Amino acid sequence: MRVLTVLTLVLFATPTLAEILVPARTIRAKEIISAQDLVPKSADVPGAVSHLDEVIGQEARVALYPGRPIRFSDIGPPAIVDRNDIVPLIFTYGSLTITAEGRAMGRGATGEIIRVMNLSSRSTITGRIRPDGSIEVH
């Protein structure tokens, strides 16, 4: 019984190394990540990206440095709306649809909520970015 307990402690107390992905070069914020930008590394880092399909085509939200682990909060889908872009604003209620032009006050990807200034009224509103780059006003 004592041998089993010691063996269990040894097996579970030993940290295991897993393959994670780290940048091969410095990747600046807003850059799209490709397979050539990444190399595998053996390390035990909770929350680090470990599969290529989780990071390829994603945008760096912050600067990523060579050899350092990439966390999921460091990357995200590519932004399709940039700050100061002129974007169509769309408000829909039942069969009623109202459109206007707006200026994006931030940048974001499909599905994210950003602030937009209505160019007609100069009021600031929030809306969700659609896949076509228009903003769905709530």
DSSP state of 63: -
From the candidate CATH numbers 3.90.1210.10, 1.20.1050.10, 3.30.465.10, 3.90.850.10, the one assigned to the domain spanning 14-76: 3.90.1210.10
pTM: 0.71
What pLDDT, on the 0 to 100 scale, is given for residue 12?
53
What pLDDT, on the 0 to 100 scale, is given for residue 15?
54
pLDDT in tens, the chain (138 residues): 554 444 454 455 445 567 899 999 999 999 999 999 999 999 888 889 989 999 999 999 999 999 999 999 999 999 999 999 999 999 999 999 999 999 999 999 999 999 999 999 999 999 999 999 999 998
Q: Specify the domain boundaries for CATH 3.90.1210.10 within the chain.
A: 14-76
CATH code for the part of the protein at 86-137: 2.30.30.760
Instruction: Enter the tokens of residue 9.
Output: 């402690």
What pLDDT, on the 0 to 100 scale, is given for residue 7?
45
What pLDDT, on the 0 to 100 scale, is given for residue 4?
47
What pLDDT, on the 0 to 100 scale, is given for residue 9?
46
What pLDDT, on the 0 to 100 scale, is given for residue 2?
52
CB-count burial class (<10 Å; 0-12, 13-18, 19+) for 105: middle
Tell me which residue has tokens 């307990």.
Answer: 5
What pLDDT, on the 0 to 100 scale, is given for residue 45?
87
First to last CA, the chain: 65
Q: Specify the domain boundaries for CATH 2.30.30.760 within the chain.
A: 86-137
Instruction: Enter the tokens of residue 29.
Output: 């914020």
